[in-house]
């Protein structure tokens, strides 16, 4: 079903759909749209002077981003075809197209889309962030760091903690734990309650034997967001090494109650604490 039959109704639909979606980060770390905070403004005139084709491309791209967030990839692709047809030089459309192809595991098309977006807007923070995550997921962790750092350097980027955190994750994949720790600490200096960085840094602290620091980080994570199997299992292992059997039993019971079917719970049953 087409939600955008006419330009005026399309703009209203885009505003309504994006009220809770624009600028969000999915659990895989990708950012769909944050045009207000990124370098996307460099790809066309200011909003008050925006041409009709550019405005149409923006409306359809925002709709596509909303459908991407909802998991409706087919409709998102349709909206992006219309956006690019209206204005083939609108970089955010290729950014979202890259994310959609990535979600569909169409990796050559995803890479082409991100590269096209960066040719148009090389300083756009969101595009650099998303392409960095794509490269990291594709086994090109070393390459990915360049794009995360390019995103962070953009002074208009509203959420550099996201790029610092994913740079840390990708550095860890290369076995560069010291570098990863530095990125994660930078993320938390920017946002002390950024939960993905809290959990990743807690794991590094645990492996290095800094148990009290690790416990403080994972406890903060569990207070800020709904506990995950990964966080509860880490808490179990920390408390076990600290010798607090009561706290260990509490976290064990919660892991069993919430996540009995997970790998973490199976590791608990098998006594695989390390």
* Tokens coding 253: 């019971």
Cα–Cα nearest to 219, from 198, 197, 245, 240? 198
120 and 241 both lie in a single domain: no
127 and 229 both lie in a single domain: no
111 and 239 both lie in a single domain: no
130 and 207 both lie in a single domain: no
Which pLDDT score is estimated for 5?
30
What 21-24 contacts at long range (C-beta under 8 Å, 24+ apart), as own/partner pairs, is 21/65, 21/66, 21/69, 21/70, 22/62, 22/65, 22/66, 23/158, 23/159, 24/69
Which pLDDT score is estimated for 257?
96
pLDDT in tens, the chain (274 residues): 333 333 233 333 333 333 333 345 555 666 655 543 344 444 444 444 567 999 999 999 999 999 999 999 999 999 999 999 999 999 999 999 999 999 999 999 999 999 999 999 999 999 999 999 999 999 999 999 999 999 999 999 999 999 999 999 999 999 999 999 999 999 999 999 999 999 999 999 999 999 999 999 999 999 999 999 999 999 999 999 999 999 999 999 999 999 999 999 999 999 999 8
Number of domains in the chain: 2
Q: How far is CA 169 from CA 89, 109, 141, 179, 197, in A?
A: 32, 24, 9, 10, 9
Q: Which residues pair with 25 in a beta bridge?
A: 31
Residue 174 inside a domain? The answer is no
Residue 191 inside a domain? The answer is no
Which pLDDT score is estimated for 51?
79
113 and 3 both lie in a single domain: yes
7 and 106 both lie in a single domain: yes
Which pLDDT score is estimated for 12?
33
Of 119, 134, 149, the one marking the end of a domain is: 134
Domain extent, residue 262, equals 198-274
Give the helix ranges, DSSP H, for the chain.
Answer: 7-18, 52-70, 73-86, 91-103, 107-120, 125-137, 141-153, 160-173, 177-190, 195-207, 211-224, 229-242, 245-259, 263-269
Of 80, 101, 134, the one marking the end of a domain is: 134
CATH number at residue 218: 1.25.40
Residue 10 inside a domain? The answer is yes
Residue 26 inside a domain? The answer is yes
124 and 32 both lie in a single domain: yes
Q: How many of the other CB atoms lie within 10 Å of CB of 21?
A: 17
Q: How far is CA 160 from CA 122, 128, 197, 208, 238, in A?
A: 17, 11, 12, 26, 30
Residue 186 inside a domain? The answer is no
CB-CB contact of 124 with 40 (8 Å): yes
85 and 7 both lie in a single domain: yes
Residue 121 inside a domain? The answer is yes
Q: What is the DSSP track for 21-45?
A: TTT-B-TTS-B---TTTSGGGGGS-
Which pLDDT score is estimated for 15?
32
CATH number at residue 47: 1.25.40.10
Residue 152 inside a domain? The answer is no
Of 134, 166, 187, the one marking the end of a domain is: 134
Which pLDDT score is estimated for 82?
97
Which pTM does this prediction carry? 0.81
Q: How far apart are CA 210 and CA 87, in angstroms?
A: 53
CB-CB contact of 183 with 167 (8 Å): yes
CB-CB contact of 238 with 214 (8 Å): yes
Residue 182 inside a domain? The answer is no
Which pLDDT score is estimated for 274?
85
235 and 126 both lie in a single domain: no
Which pLDDT score is estimated for 158?
95
Which pLDDT score is estimated for 34?
52
């Amino acid at each position: 079903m087409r939600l955008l039959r006419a330009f005026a109704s399309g703009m209203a639909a885009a505003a309504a759909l994006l009220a809770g979606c624009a600028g969000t980060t999915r659990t895989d770390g990708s950012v769909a749209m944050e045009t207000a905070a990124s370098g996307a403004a460099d790809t066309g005139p200011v909003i008050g002077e925006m041409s009709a084709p550019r405005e149409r491309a923006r409306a359809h791209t925002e709709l596509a981003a909303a459908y991407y967030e909802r998991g409706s990839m087919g409709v998102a692709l349709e909206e992006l075809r219309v956006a690019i047809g209206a204005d083939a030089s609108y970089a955010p459309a290729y950014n979202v197209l890259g994310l959609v192809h990535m979600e569909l595991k169409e990796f050559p098309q995803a890479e082409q889309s991100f590269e096209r977006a960066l040719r148009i807007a090389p300083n756009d923070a969101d595009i650099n962030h998303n392409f960095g995550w794509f490269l990291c997921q594709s086994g090109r962790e070393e390459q990915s760091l360049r794009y995360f750092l390019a995103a962070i350097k953009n002074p208009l980027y509203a959420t550099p903690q996201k790029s610092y955190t994913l740079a840390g994750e990708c550095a860890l994949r290369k076995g560069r734990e010291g570098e990863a720790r530095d990125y994660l600490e930078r993320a938390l200096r920017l946002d002390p309650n950024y939960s993905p960085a809290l959990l990743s840094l807690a794991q590094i602290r645990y492996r290095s034997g800094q148990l009290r620091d690790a416990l403080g980080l994972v406890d903060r994570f569990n207070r800020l967001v709904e506990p995950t199997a990964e966080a509860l299992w880490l808490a179990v292992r920390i408390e076990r090494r600290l010798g607090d059997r009561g706290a260990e039993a509490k976290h064990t019971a919660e892991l069993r109650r919430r996540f009995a079917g997970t790998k973490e719970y199976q590791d608990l049953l098998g006594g695989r604490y390390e």
